[in-house]
């Protein structure tokens, strides 16, 4: 079998050797355009039976056409993800008070009355005479968006476990328009929260004050008598009840939501 070799002259300053009956891909440099030119040539005998060319310019065009779409889709995905995070953040802010209330009512956190709780049975509202008295102090705060003054009327009270006590807070609308507020609360030290029970309070409920209006808000509470039997409570002599008021408004769906600070 004889092998024939042909030399094909191209319009560039390079040449290529072709082997009979075979095809080869070679890369030549076009010095006029400074581009790589990819050639596929087929020979039959000593003649070229076919030739195809492809430059890196077309490769680059195809590359950017393909990957440009991917980059565009990635950018859109990133923007959609960012928008979703922002919307979620706003939703969590609006839902924070209702969710906090549901959490407290389910777990009893902070002394919130749990559904089906028997803590308010009359036999539990009996002072533990052999126990020490606990000092309960009061704290009040308002968010920056709510133009109210909010203060406790008493600095402290002292109670026995199982003894009920009544305290008052005073709120005043210092603006020239009607405002709605919602209060959240907590008890510290946090480990006391399961034993701190409120029979009546103003937390989590709409409190609407007209311009310049001032009201007294009662808190009726007791510390569970089991507090005295818990060894983890032996170092607790002072409990602090704190309330924070947030500005609120009704959404388009008629739901009362807090206004972000």
Q: Which of 23-32, 68-77, 240-249 has the highest mean pLDDT?
A: 240-249
- Among 203, 199, 195, 259, residue whose Cα is nearest residue 230: 195
| Residue 37: strand pairing partners | 28, 55
State how far the alpha carbon of 169 is from the alpha carbons of 141, 216, 243, in Å.
Answer: 11, 6, 9
- Asked whether residue 14 is assigned to any structural domain, the reply reads yes
pLDDT in tens, 220-254: 999 999 999 999 999 999 999 999 999 988 877 77
Both 51 and 180 in one domain: the answer is no
101 in a domain, yes or no? Answer: no
Co-location of 149 and 210 in the same domain: yes
- The span from the CA of 139 to the CA of 258, in Å, is 21
Q: Kindly tell me if the per-residue pLDDT of 18 is higher than 90.
A: no
**Are 231 and 120 within one domain?**
yes
pLDDT of residue 153: 98
Report the CATH number that the domain containing residue 251 is assigned in CATH: 2.60.370.10
Interatomic CA distance for residues 242 and 150, integer angstroms = 11
From 214, 226, 3, select the one nearest 124 (Cα to Cα).
226
Cis peptide before 189, with omega less than 30 degrees from 0? yes
Residue 253 shares a structural domain with residue 137: yes
Q: How far is CA 16 from CA 7, 23, 51, 80, in A?
A: 6, 11, 12, 53
Residue 220 lies in a domain: yes
| pLDDT band with cut points at 50, 70 and 90 for residue 126 | confident
Q: Which pLDDT score is estimated for 26?
A: 42
Together in a domain, 48 and 173: no
In a domain, 82, yes or no: no
pTM of the full predicted structure? 0.58
Domain count, the chain: 2
Whether residues 37 and 122 fall in one domain: no
Coil/strand/helix, residue 203: coil
In percent, the amount of the chain with pLDDT more than 70 equals 54
Residues 50 and 112 occupy one common structural domain: no
Using the predicted structure, report yes or no on whether residue 179 has a pLDDT greater than 90: yes
Query: Does residue 188 lie within any of the structural domains?
Result: yes
Q: How far is CA 134 from CA 31, 60, 113, 126, 226, in A?
A: 94, 79, 21, 15, 13
Domain of residue 115: give its range.
108-258
Q: Are residues 52 and 115 in the same domain?
A: no
In a domain, 87, yes or no: no
225 and 128 in a single domain? The answer is: yes
Torsion sign, CA atoms 43, 46, 51, 53: positive
In a domain, 95, yes or no: no
Q: Is position 100 within any domain? A: no
Whether residues 162 and 238 fall in one domain: yes
């Amino acid at each position: 079998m004889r092998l024939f070799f042909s030399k094909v002259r191209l319009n560039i300053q390079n040449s290529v050797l072709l082997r009979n009956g075979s095809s080869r891909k070679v890369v030549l440099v076009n010095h006029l355009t400074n581009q790589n030119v990819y050639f596929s040539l087929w020979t039959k005998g000593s003649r070229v039976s076919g030739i195809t060319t492809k430059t890196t310019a077309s490769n680059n065009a195809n590359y950017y056409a393909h990957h440009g779409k991917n980059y565009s889709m990635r950018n859109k995905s990133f923007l959609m993800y960012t928008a979703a995070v922002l919307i979620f953040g706003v939703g969590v802010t609006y839902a924070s008070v209702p969710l906090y209330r549901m959490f407290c009512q389910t777990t009893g956190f902070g002394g919130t009355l749990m559904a089906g709780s028997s803590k308010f049975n009359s036999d539990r509202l009996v002072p533990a005479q052999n126990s020490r008295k606990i000092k309960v102090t009061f704290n009040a705060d308002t968010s920056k968006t709510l133009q109210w003054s909010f203060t406790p009327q008493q600095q402290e009270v002292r109670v026995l476990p199982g003894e009920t006590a009544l305290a008052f807070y005073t709120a005043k609308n210092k603006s020239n328009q009607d405002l709605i507020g919602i209060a959240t609360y907590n008890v510290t030290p946090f480990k006391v929260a399961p034993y701190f029970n409120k029979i009546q309070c103003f937390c989590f409920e709409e409190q609407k004050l007209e311009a310049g209006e001032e009201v007294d808000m009662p808190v009726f509470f007791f510390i569970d008598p089991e507090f005295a039997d818990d060894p983890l409570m032996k170092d607790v002599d002072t409990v602090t009840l704190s309330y924070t008021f947030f500005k609120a408004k009704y959404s388009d769906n008629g739901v009362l939501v807090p206004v972000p600070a």
